[in-house]
Amino acid sequence: MQNRRKFLKYTALIASASIAQPLVSFSVPMPLLKEKPIFPAALKRGDKVIIVSPAGAVYDLTKIEEFSRILSNFGFVVERAKSASNRLGYLAGSDEERADDINNAFADNSIKGIVCTRGGWGCARILDRLDYKLIAENPKVIMGFSDITSLLLAINAKTKLVTFHGPVGLSSWDPFSTLCFTNTVFLGERNVFPFGVEDKMIALTPGIAQGELIGGNLTVFNSLIGTDYLPNCDNKILFLEELNEDPYKIDRMLTQLKLAGVLDKLSGFVFGACTKCESEDPLQSFSLLDVVKHHILPLNIPAIFNAPFGHTTKKWTIPIGVMAELDTYNLKLELQQGAVSV
């Protein structure tokens, strides 16, 4: 009877995704870690956190004030980096200034967490200026998304420090996003991803996969291919999201991942709730879901579409470099270990 209920639940998921595929279930085994991740200390009330702008400039400085109040409401002592409110063209200060802010934040033992104001563009310009030995020796929480993806991935690739794909200062900090942040970064909960809030989240491929989490913004992720700043993707669960890109652009970027050999080595795949990524003329375009199916279904790995993270109001805080299990029967992504040391 229990198997019958699971089968009915599974078939309902597949029907909702409009998948015309053989109903074959499988499980991808958990790989052995070659290197142990470095876990930052859990944040707690009274900790000092610093606001940084490693990428684009913040043009409305009241947003930094609002962000400071949000962080203060968590009980943090809030500090601002020197260039957090700077402007140099579309950047928040020079490359040297922004890199110095990151290096100095890791070097300062009184600072326990590093949070970003926004994405935009600019993080990749400072990757070769960061002191990765210093970062590895002084692990602490660093969080952001969008263009911050390159910073999070580079730090993880060079140091094995767990980094966090989560809200920035210009994000919405609604109750859902706040709960995910608190569970992940304060409590170190293993299962930090609430479900049931996104009715459109669907299973693309049935099964259960295990692997380290890796991912972020699709455009930024792709820009690191061929560099030393992209972590190894073998046997990983890849999560990707995007904003304001037509389906043909998503197709182009997923094709690049395929040709680079990234997709073929994954254990699981999660695509986020993308914003403004549908064509203005659907009669002359594939849908976003069509494009994702074209690339992901042939992989025969467990996959979910339209999960709540990235450029959307409700956001998971996803730790990069932590072992997780993706269960597409139950639309469930569960950490196999806490993302912070408590």
Listing DSSP states for 10-68 in one string gives HHHHHHHTT--S-----EEPPPPPSSPPBPPBPP-TT-EEEEE-SSB--S-THHHHHHH
List 83, 146, 223, 267, catalytic entry: 146
Active site residue 241: yes
Q: Which of 165, 245, 295, 311 is catalytic?
A: 311
Longest CA span, the chain: 64
Active site residue 189: no
Q: Report the distance separating Cα 246 and Cα 285, nearest Å.
A: 9
- C-alpha neighbours within 13 Å on the C-beta side of residue 130: 26
295 is catalytic: no
Q: Which two tokens stand for residue 86?
A: 């700077």
The angle formed by the CA atoms of residues 229, 232 and 238, to the nearest 5 degrees, is 100
Check: CB of residue 333 under 8 Å from CB of residue 326: yes
From the candidates 241, 242, 245, 325, give the one annotated as an active-site residue: 241
70/74 Cα distance (integer angstroms): 7
What residues act catalytically?
A: 146, 241, 311
